[in-house]
Copies of this chain bind each other. A is one copy, B any other.
Amino acid sequence: MSSEFRDVRLSVIDERIKNVENVIAVSSGKGGVGKSLVASALSLSLARKGYLVGLFDLDLTSPSTHIILDVGESRPVEDRGIVPPKVHGISYMSITYYSGDKPTPLRGQEFSNALIELMAITRWGDLDFLIVDMPPGISDATLDIIRLVKRSKFLIVTTPSRLAFETVKKLIKLLSDLRVEIIGIVENMKIRESDFIKANVERLGVKYLGEIDFDGNLEDALGDVEKFSNTRFFRRVEEIAGELIKRLASGTQ
């Protein structure tokens, strides 16, 4: 019975993003590598280049883009679904609009449910880019999003650490097995010269998009978009965004 029952929300999800040109899933092997910072800076810089951009925070267990961007009192509006508010020029949606500061210890099934619900209710409208801040690693949620949004292309963030790269390797393997497109890898929090990540990534046949130096001023810029846009970190992500657009335009993987 259950396999014949098709959740009506699943077909709604396709409908919700049918006018979205590119779905970019910003992902990582481990948490704490700066994935949400990259997703936030990428969204902002694409918006400033004049693109229509949405940012979808699906890191349900540790959402942070709402803090980075200080989404303040913004709220989604109900209108045949939920319309995301515009935050600093970005259409923005996050579970935190509904969960607030409460812990959300969702079990597998509930988790999947919350995710599907959020994806099914949000009306993105016309977008050039929908940036998805993914849950870290290979979780249920990662698998769900791959299943539900077949068009998503992955941008993977790592740090120079071997420990981070160990899980990135597994993520690349999984995505390849599932035939999911990987746009490239960004190496964040670089503190010294090393080509360990670049060499290893290229050996796996994945594009190395660039490195971002460790930026000790970033912490002070959290929640202050003006300050954030003036960090070295942000300017590097802007350059990487340019690189990304070229790759997408040329259709190369």
Contact = CB atoms under 8 A, between A and B. Distances in A.
Contacts of A61: 137-139, 167
A160 interface: yes
Contacts of A137: 31, 61-62
Contacts of A73: none
Nearest to A61: B137
Query: DSSP class of A's interface residues: helix, strand, loop or mixed?
Result: loop
Interface stretch (A74-82, A103-111, A115-123, A235-243): A103-111
Nearest to A37: B163
Contacts of A140: 107-108, 111
Interface residues of A, number: 47
Given A31-B32, A104-B138, 19 more contacts: A30-B31, A30-B32, A30-B62, A32-B164, A36-B163, A61-B138, A62-B167, A64-B167, A67-B166, A68-B163, A101-B169, A102-B170, A103-B171, A103-B174, A105-B142, A107-B108, A108-B108, A108-B140, A191-B216
A38 to B, nearest CB: 13
A103 B30 contact: no
Interface of A: 29-33, 36, 61-62, 64, 67-68, 101-105, 107-109, 111-112, 136-140, 142-143, 159-164, 166-167, 169-171, 173-174, 191-192, 216, 219, 222-223
A222 B164 CA distance: 12
Nearest to A111: B108
Contacts of A109: 108
Contacts of A33: 32
A203 to B, nearest CB: 14
6 contacts: A67-B166, A101-B169, A103-B173, A105-B143, A105-B174, A111-B140
A136 B32 CA distance: 10
Contacts of A223: 162
A62 B166 contact: yes
Given A61-B139, A62-B30, A108-B107, A163 B216 contact: no
